[in-house]
A = this chain, B = another copy of it.
Amino acid sequence: MGTTQLETVPEPKYWHLRTVLSEALDTEFTVGEILPNERDLAARFGVARATLRQALEQLELEGRLQRRRGVGTTVAPPRMGVAVGTEQHAWPGGAGDDWQPVDATPEVPPAGVAAALETGADEAVHLVRRSLTTHGQPVAAELLYVAVGAVPELAAIDTSAGAARARAVLRELQRLELEGRESAVELGSARADDARQLDRLPGAPVLVVTTRYFAGGRTVAVSVATYRADTCRLTFGDSGGVEVHPDPQPQAS
């Protein structure tokens, strides 16, 4: 180590800043504490505000910070674990399912969902909207598409309103035997309506979980659930969905 390698590959300022701030968060700040405002921080580090913001954006993406317009930037608590894909609530709306039904209406699903449900291009299905709140904070919004053929009993109670109707659809689903399930997780950005429900701005990063439910040899329901990527860690597995360790998990950065 004779010659100290100074900057053969100089890293970007915002990346270095991210590292410095990250370490400061670990050692000098506590959860919930308010950081100095962006203009002050930028001045303190001798960079333009845009550069500082780039570093803050990274940290927010990683769930270390929470920024709110008009309020300020605070140190975020560790991400909360949210159980998905565990056996305990095979059908949506079953026991131990914390989702809140919002409403249900007939809708023509997007093309991808229609293909999975094997419905016609302009054929309406039940659309159940639900939301998930943990520790008083909105965490996820779900669109659950249910083929009309799967819940034939619903024609009779067609007149029920909002959340009651949503509960009726979910109740009918429980009567079917679930043969299998298949989920996919990908990164997306919140649409305007999702953003409002999740208390974020449009474009905020979200984890989109798409789940197909199989019964009677076909796909009877498709769920598209949108989770706040900054505050959530999605857990899968055989442990029943309980938090085994509330400690922060190893991070990629």
> What residues of B have a CB within 8 angstroms of the CB of A149 in the complex?
none
Do A189 and B58 have beta carbons less than 8 Å apart?
Answer: yes
- Chain B nearest CB from A7 CB (Å) reads 14
A 196-238 to B, binary, CB cutoff 8 A, 1 in contact else 0? 0000001101111010100000000010101001101111111
> How many copies of the shown chain assemble into the complex?
2
> What residues of B have a CB within 8 angstroms of the CB of A229 in the complex?
186-187
Closest to A59 in B: B189
Do B62 and A189 have beta carbons less than 8 Å apart?
Answer: yes
Closest to A250 in B: B112
> What residues of B have a CB within 8 angstroms of the CB of A253 in the complex?
188-191, 203
Do B186 and A249 have beta carbons less than 8 Å apart?
Answer: yes
> What residues of B have a CB within 8 angstroms of the CB of A3 in the complex?
none
- Chain B nearest CB from A178 CB (Å) reads 11
Bound-complex Cα distance A239 to B234 (A): 20
Do A247 and B11 have beta carbons less than 8 Å apart?
Answer: no
- Chain B nearest CB from A205 CB (Å) reads 6
Do A180 and B252 have beta carbons less than 8 Å apart?
Answer: no
Do A81 and B184 have beta carbons less than 8 Å apart?
Answer: yes
Do A85 and B210 have beta carbons less than 8 Å apart?
Answer: no
Bound-complex Cα distance A112 to B189 (A): 29
**Interfacial residues, chain A to chain B (CB-CB below 8 A):** 11-12, 15, 18, 58, 61-63, 79, 81, 85, 110, 112-113, 115-116, 180-192, 194, 202-203, 205-208, 210, 212, 222, 224, 226, 229-230, 232-239, 244-245, 247-253
12 A-B pairs with C-beta separation under 8 A = A18-B203, A62-B187, A85-B237, A112-B247, A112-B248, A112-B250, A180-B238, A185-B236, A188-B251, A194-B252, A224-B250, A236-B236
